[in-house]
Structure 1
Amino acid sequence: FILRAIPGGPVENEEMPTYPFGHMYTVQESGRINTTAWSLYIRKLFKFEVEAPSVLRLDNFVARVSTEGIDIVSDTTSAIVCQLPAKSTAVCQPLDVGVMGPWKKNITVKWLSDTRVPPHTRRNTIMTDNNVCIKCGLHICECW
């Protein structure tokens, strides 16, 4: 997860009062991926997913397709980076635009409305995967 915060500064906890164990977190001022976060992702997570020579197709976001970003992938994994043409993401990933984008927006709104707790009643909680799906109104989803 990339959290919007200043490195070394306080982390906002209004949306997510506790941060579950077992996840990887980093902070970035804009809350978007940068070269540091990309490097962390490739070196700590992605490298374990690539077992054989592979092609990694990436959009034109500069943190991923800069010389440094591509070098991180090639130095850490056996993957070759294939940069998609500009403005082609919507064509190559129709589910992101037509299905997943609206679904992610709706599930985020539902989650935020269900998890807003007044500050004086907050307590640390751990939710199981099944509880997350039920809280989001997705009774038929496959939890992972």
Structure 2
Amino acid sequence: MNWIKRHQAAWLRYYIARKKPGTGYQGLLRLLQLFCHRHGFTRQRHGKQKQKQSVLIEVRDDFVAEFHLQYHGFGPDCVYNVDETGFYYDMPPKYIWSARGGDANISTGEKHSMRMTAVLTVRSNGDKLPILFTIRGTPGGRIETSELPTYKRPLLCFVEPSVMLLDNFESHVSDASYRIVEEELSSFLCAIPPNATSICQPLDVGVMAPFKRYLRDEWLNEEMIDGEDGDDFDTPTAAEKRKAMVKRAIAAWDRVTATEIRNSFVKALPSIEE
């Protein structure tokens, strides 16, 4: 795909323009898959063991009943779901194409060159908060010493108590996390059952998939960034890559609709009557 972006940019723009919004990446991927299959390549991907759907639904139902019992007094504008997701500067398909009978492994140099973490926050009324980007920083730098201590502190007194849904990652459900949420934010931390985010976490249920799809579409539409030598598509500086990734994520996040967010909460936390 990088080769097409660099050497066939005009054709790529024409191809995407003919597709429905949000389908350009998948259409191009399918086209390349057919090409690879026609020329004798096979598709391979690692599999993962998953819990049975019936078990997950039972876990979800128990969690939903307890959630509505504890937090029934909180309106849709007071229930948040926060989660982080990683994405890469280059966003090729997740599958490996190799010649039949050949090795499916890839060398270290062919792997993603830069990764960034985006923290996404949504409310059950359909609102979405600006993305918080996590990148490597310098301990004791300006952000840590000057920005974080005063970041939006004056606004905390105007925020009403809320419920924050988080996955069961160890650092999320530590005593320190509960203390910060309850004492500093005057809110409540609600931990999602372990290994059940695919069915209990609104972001995973109906937001992450379209967000990642929009990310891939934005990646396809990006102009290739030349480095100093101007002839290698993998030569942009780290700062240039970070800037491109931030702009790409913001554009993709803007495309996530309030309807998608509301539906994800309805599906992950259905009312007891349903």
Q: When the two structures are superposed, what TM-score results if normalisation uses the length of structure 1?
A: 0.48
Higher RCO, 1 vs 2 (CA within 8 Å, ≥6 residues apart): 2
Q: TM-score, normalised by structure 2?
A: 0.29
Q: Between Structure 1 and Structure 2, whose CA radius of gyration is higher?
A: 2
Per residue, is there more helix in 1 or in 2? Answer: 2
